[in-house]
Structure 1
Amino acid sequence: MRALRLLAIIPATALIGAAPPIPRETRPGEGVLCIGTFIYFVEKIGRMCRPGEDEEFQQRIGGYAKRFDEYIIRNSGGSSAALETFKNGQNLDSDDRGYICEGDVAQSYDVFIKIPREELDKAVDEILSRDGPASFGDCV
């Protein structure tokens, strides 16, 4: 699966301790929460730490984040409550600039911006192409 191969090219430090996945056929929804978490953090880093920089990239990441939101809501009964619970559980509601703008979390922005647009587009398209219960899969 292309989306899981995407994780294999991201340095382990950028994956915040995640083990690299073994490419294999996945169930619909598998890996959505993992990739989604990285997308959400990259979006937040852009908004909080790098406003006005990399405008096209930040808009694209924002578009991906909306698609992950829609997927998670659609595949968890149509309520945004599951999405909010998930995001809160991942510490995505943090306003701690040190946590978001420095260290491993901040490094994920630098890693994702280097991924060619076409490759990231394909990975997001692929992982969101089949509806199913959103899960982390093997990426963490």
Structure 2
Amino acid sequence: MRRRLSLIPLSIVALTGLAAFGNAPVQTAREAPPGEGVVCAWALYSFASDVVERCPSNVSPEMKAELKRSVERLDAYVRANSEITQEDFDQFKREQANVGRPEAEICQADADEGLVDAMTQMPVTQLRIYIDDLTARPGAPTWGTCL
């Protein structure tokens, strides 16, 4: 089953999740199975990295580099832990992460919806730790949740 992400629902989910993240009550966290949430993160961070590279923004060079590193880690994880073909890989990037869309589309959508701003507010070290933890254990990549 393929799930399509458009910029608007992706933004709403991310903004809602990121806004709520800081106010969430402390709960005993379950350990997610390996690979859970990787596809969600792969879509979101692929989009964010593409936007900060191609659109005007106030994102720091350190965060831009960390986003790029995060996407490289997620790309490698998906390739190593699935039987994805290059065609499916490229299709996912185009259709789910909106990578490669015309700048006018992605820059305007992000400016209107604030997705990348919300995603790049966390400290660079926090993003690194999150992606490192997400990709630390081999397992089949699934959508799960990444917010």
- Normalised by the size of structure 2, how large is the TM-score? 0.70
Aligned to 1:102, the other structure's residue is in SS state helix
Encode CA deviations 1:74-129: one digit per residue, 9 max, x unaligned: 11237433322322331524423343113457622211221012211111111101
SS of equivalent to 1:114: coil
Separation in 2 of the partners of 1:137 and 1:14? 13
Q: Is 1:134 aligned with 2:141?
A: yes
Tell me the equivalent position of 1:88: 94
Residues 5-36 of structure 1: CA deviation (Å, up to 9, x unaligned): xxxxxxx7361777x89953211111001111
Structure 1 length normalisation: TM-score? 0.73
* 1:77–1:42 Cα change, 3 Å: same
Aligned residue-pair number = 129
Of the three residues 100, 117, 122, the one matched with 1:110 is: 117
Distance 1:100 1:83 in 2: 20
Could you tell me which runs of 5 or more consecutive residues in structure 1 were left unpaired when the two chains were aligned: 1-11
| 1:135 maps to amino acid | T
Distance 1:60 1:107 in 2: 19
Partner of 1:15: 14
Q: Where do 1:42-57 residues align within 5 Å?
A: 42-50=48-56, 54-57=60-63
Q: Tell me the percent identity.
A: 23
